């Protein structure tokens, strides 16, 4: 019997048969487990650093996504994609961050349908402090992350 699952691929869903998924070796599973562990350790560091700075982890991520938008202020839709949240959840997050003086929002002058979000000076200062500590942490864990990713991508490349 063929069971069909869906694998999310950005904005599309690709149907894939369970029968077509190659079986994983112990080495594959170890590599995936190591990579997941290293990502989770960094995420835990990030969450704790945000809380120590007086921010909720999602507020930190909101600030980072808003400040890192490629072409000026970020739209709510772009932030929802970056944060992997629904737009109404991002709107609630923006409302709380705005109340704390971390972000400002306004309608686009070019297209009034879009709400644009950007960090305030206070939000930028908090983000700068957090980014310094994150960069230092990444310097310390980069080698292990790269090694784990290389093991996974090397294994995945063999299947392609």
Question: Is residue 62 within 8 Å of residue 83, measured between CB atoms?
Answer: yes
Element (H, E) at 142: helix 121-159
Measured CA distances, 88 to 61, 72, 76, 78, 113 (Å): 16, 22, 9, 13, 15
Please state, in angstroms and rounded to a whole number, the distance separating the CA atoms of residues 156 and 134.
29
Instruction: Please give the pLDDT value at position 3.
Output: 46
pLDDT digits (tens, 9 = 90+) for 58-106: 999 999 999 999 888 999 999 999 999 999 999 999 999 999 999 999 9
Length of the chain: 160
Please state, in angstroms and rounded to a whole number, the distance separating the CA atoms of residues 29 and 31.
5
Name beta bridge partners: 117. 74, 105
Does pLDDT of 15 surpass 70? no
C-alpha 130, offset from chain centre: 15
Write the burial class of residue 63 (CB in 10 Å: 0-12 exposed, 13-18 middle, 19+ buried): buried
Name beta bridge partners: 13. 8
Secondary structure letter of residue 53 according to DSSP: T
> How many CB atoms are located within 10 Å of the residue 92 CB?
13
Write the burial class of residue 118 (CB in 10 Å: 0-12 exposed, 13-18 middle, 19+ buried): middle
Instruction: Please give the pLDDT value at position 1.
Output: 43
pLDDT digits (tens, 9 = 90+) for 31-66: 999 999 999 999 999 999 999 999 999 999 999 999
């Amino acid at each position: 019997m063929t069971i069909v699952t869906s694998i999310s691929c950005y904005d599309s869903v690709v149907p894939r048969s369970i029968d077509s998924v190659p079986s994983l070796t112990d080495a594959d599973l170890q590599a995936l487990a190591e990579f997941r562990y290293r990502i989770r350790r960094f995420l835990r560091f990030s969450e704790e650093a945000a809380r120590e700075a007086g921010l909720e982890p999602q507020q930190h991520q909101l600030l980072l996504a808003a400040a890192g938008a490629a072409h000026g202020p970020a739209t709510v839709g772009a932030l929802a994609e970056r944060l992997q949240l629904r737009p109404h959840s991002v709107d609630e997050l923006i409302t709380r961050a705005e109340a704390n003086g971390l972000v400002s929002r306004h309608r686009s002058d070019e297209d009034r349908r879009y709400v644009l979000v950007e960090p305030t000076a206070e939000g930028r200062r908090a983000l700068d402090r957090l980014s310094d500590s994150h960069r230092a942490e990444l310097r310390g864990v980069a080698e292990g992350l790269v090694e784990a990713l290389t093991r996974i991508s090397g294994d995945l490349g063999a299947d392609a």
